Structure 1
Amino acid sequence: MSDDTYKSVKSIETQRNWRTRQGLAVTAALLLVGVAAAPAATALDRPAPAGAVSVRAPSAGADADARRGALISVTRVAVGDTAQVKAFLAERGTAADSVRYGVRAYRLTYRTVDPYGEPTTATGLLTLPTGGGHRLDLVSDTHGTMVNRSYAPSAEEDFGRIPSYLHAGAGRAVAAPDYLGLGGGPGLHPYMDTRSSVTASVDMLRAARTAARQLDRPLTGDVYATGFSQGGQVAMALGRALEEGADRHFRLKALAPVSGPYDLEGVEIPALFDGRVNDTSGVLYIGYWLVAQNRLHPLYKDPADAFRAPYADRVEGLYDGTHEEEDIVRALPASLKELLTPAYYEKLRHPEGGLLAALRDNDHGCDWKPAAPVRLYAGAADTDAPIANAHSCAAQLAERGVRASVMNQGDLDHFGTFQVSAPKVVRWFDAVSGS
């Protein structure tokens, strides 16, 4: 096993161990509130508040509930004071010096559309500070790759909530969409389909606006966008949508994505073959991407056209939203050459047709001219989303007259870059807002 592959496996194990240790790390636990009638287990010596929170439905006409972003339900899922938020972050290796307030977190269920434009529902996490100003600026935090729907921010209190608790602890509201097919949303997740991730994110902002108003913490309309890994790409595309008028209520103030795969065709796919992406992550991501994108683009007619035996018979089932990352890693081979047929391996190296269209369809996060300031956080030792992605994005922006700083976090891997960058993004947003 190469050093990079070992690091990737350990990163997956580390994230899973956090989930396993969740019930034991009582010093870091927030007060979890279950949907069931029985109170959730808690280490705090106080009664659990009710999970359901009553909100009024939008009142813009008889068809209001069918509108994109219409709020269906709000459920409180966590509450914690300042000390508990800091302990939660410290347990996960994240600096918490910017945390000044406790937080309350709510699962929102709202209406949106699927990749085909058909009505569906999605879930996401709205986190509010317990103090600070009455009207709140809003942070959009879009998460990284998740293969299991229960990892989503609204569903599990773990690493996916780090940015939410950081930014809310600093005094802003945070809207963290689960995306389609994750959390409580129906169907399968259209992995790396940027367009539908953006629609779900915009509609999450709308649902958050309604919920925050009903919870007596109205939003100002200013949005600060961040996201990690897959979510870094989504954050850039979301920023573009907001500046192009996706919703008149929201104004983009700053963009700070972390370790995004902004250039699939020019960087991320070539990096699978030249060693810049480690084998373990490459197999996990490409398996997920091919299976999900094949529902949207003509990538293969039968799994055996792309995947070798015996993996062709199992690969689509592995990405059904119920498996753990490490289970998928164990069920698939150690390298792309072992996963893909020789013909499809070469096709991925030199994409054309539907494969090339799928890449290009998701490569438009950086080919626009933001008015808001942009910082691209990245790590030099990242072997999941190599730092060349950030340099490519910065170059595309520069061609349009926009200077975006690549914030190189040094010799850090993918998840290490996230841990170090997340608190820095909070401080930069503070600087941009003047708070």
Structure 2
Amino acid sequence: MRKTRKTLGLLALACAGLVLATATAPAALALSTPQVEQGSLVSAKKIKSLSAAEIAAYLRESKFPVPPKAQGADLYAVVYRTVGVDGSPTTASGTVAVPHKSRKDLWTVSYEHGTTATRAYVGSMDEGDGRAVPMMFAAAGFIAVAPDYLGLGTGPGFHPYMDHASEASATVDLLRAARSLATGQGRRLSGDVLVTGFSQGGTATMAVGRQLQAGPGLGFRLRGLAPISGPYEVQHVQFPELIAERLDPRTSAFYLAYWTASMNRLHHFYDSPAEAFQDPAVEALYDGNHTFDEIIAGLPASPLDVLTPKFQQWYLNPSGAVLKALETNDDTCSSWRPRVPVRLFAARGDREVVARNSRNCLRDLRRHGTDATLTDVGDIGHMDSPLAAMPTVLRWFTDLR
């Protein structure tokens, strides 16, 4: 579920008269007429413009594959209108990558990033997979987007970590914003959308697919899903493994505390942090401003030392608010039947998000009759799994197009 800056390193239609920046136009713009509808652009700032040779070098450095016959692309940091977890208007940020040459009937790819508790460690603000992956797909001739999600990047408030409804709505509204940006540059989008994502973004991939398939009025057609190493079953797989200390203890403590602090804001588990955390100061680490290293330094070395005994038992035998939070978000594989192919990826060596999550997701999808497969990318760690999976995802998405 984790994403850090160092580890992944370089790792709605437009209103009449709307004209956005092109490759030769100024690097930044702010739309002069405020929009109120979901997915309307607030601003779009060009943060990269790379030639074919430059993008190939950039992708090689970031360890992502270089598409055959790669073309240059522009990358924008955008701010757009969306809704919060309570349905009220808010804004979110993300990145949009636009290929230099391809102009007609462009397919769109959405990339859902993995866990970060630091608002600055997302594509609109920092180098990492939120920039490299969209540029990879743009080099292959796609329009590509990567949402920061609510409360990260320049989005106000706290990030509702692992809340799949808001991950989906923030992504769909970014797709609308990207359509406006592309249309303003004279590009013609086909409306076909492919979705991939890693870790937290694996479950987000499935949630986005569900929303796109359920909403034909959005003007998009879901074509394929490629989730990587997602925690699809927090209740029955992830929590038991974490609390039994069968996974990496440091990152387990990070995830457990993050999920607790986030879900309390949405489902109200406790009135005081002391009810849930053995050290009540843990909650304040997840304010969006602490770095991963700072959070880890403030956490105990074991997940068993994060929660009070009462909350450990509540998570192992959930009821009430905890059960509602789990059931609301543990259904991205089981609650619907994708009418498009799904290609799951997981690593058998993963000690952060166990591969059994993906095996159970595959089971649920096949029970529904979905065309689904699972690829084991090897005896490697969690953070290596997207790098191992992405060459296959790129080839498959290109073949689907």
Query: What's the TM-score once normalised by structure 1's chain length?
Result: 0.85
Maintained 8 Å contact 1:166/1:423? no
Closer, same or farther in 2 for the Cα pair 1:81/1:13, shift >3 Å? closer
Quote the Cα distance in structure 1 between the aligned partners of 2:319 and 2:328: 13
Aligned to 1:331: 298
Q: Quick one: which of 169, 191, 197 aligns to 1:221?
A: 191
Point out 4+ residue stretches in structure 1 off by more than 6 angstroms: none
Does residue 52 (structure 1) correspond to residue 24 (structure 2)? The answer is: no
Maintained 8 Å contact 1:112/1:203? yes
Q: Which runs of 5+ in 2 are unaligned?
A: 12-22
Quote the Cα distance in structure 2 between the aligned partners of 1:381 and 1:245: 37
Quote the Cα distance in structure 1 between the aligned partners of 2:195 and 2:168: 12
Which range moves more in the overlay, 269-278 or 149-158? Answer: 269-278
CA deviation string 1:231-260 (max 9, x = no partner): 110110111111111643100011011111
Does residue 123 (structure 1) correspond to residue 93 (structure 2)? The answer is: yes
Structure 1 residue 135: Cα displacement: 3.3
Structure 1 residue 95: Cα displacement: 2.7
Structure 1 residue 96: Cα displacement: 1.9
Structure 1 residue 190: Cα displacement: 0.7
Structure 1 residue 108: Cα displacement: 1.5
Structure 1 residue 55: Cα displacement: 5.9
Question: After the TM superposition, which residues 24-423 of structure 1 pair with which residues of structure 2 at under 5 Å, given as runs?
Answer: 50-53=26-29, 65-98=35-68, 100-245=70-215, 247-308=217-278, 311-312=279-280, 314-367=281-334, 368-423=336-391
Quote the Cα distance in structure 2 between the aligned partners of 1:246 and 1:161: 28
Residue 242 of structure 2 aligns to a residue whose secondary structure is helix
Closer, same or farther in 2 for the Cα pair 1:237/1:409, shift >3 Å? same
Maintained 8 Å contact 1:231/1:257? yes
Which residue identity lines up with residue 431 of structure 1 in the other structure?
Answer: D
Which range moves more in the overlay, 135-144 or 81-90? Answer: 81-90
Closer, same or farther in 2 for the Cα pair 1:246/1:329, shift >3 Å? farther
Which range moves more in the overlay, 110-119 or 96-105? Answer: 96-105
Structure 1 residue 97: Cα displacement: 4.3
Closer, same or farther in 2 for the Cα pair 1:384/1:232, shift >3 Å? same
Maintained 8 Å contact 2:73/2:135? yes
Aligned to 1:25: none
Number of residue pairs matched?
389
Quote the Cα distance in structure 2 between the aligned partners of 1:48 and 1:171: 19
Structure 1 residue 301: Cα displacement: 1.6
RMSD: 2.2
Maintained 8 Å contact 2:46/2:77? yes
Maintained 8 Å contact 1:375/1:406? yes
Which range moves more in the overlay, 211-220 or 249-258? Answer: 211-220
Closer, same or farther in 2 for the Cα pair 1:56/1:302, shift >3 Å? closer
Quote the Cα distance in structure 1 between the aligned partners of 2:73 and 2:313: 50
Q: Which runs of 5+ in 1 are unaligned?
A: 1-7, 23-46, 58-63
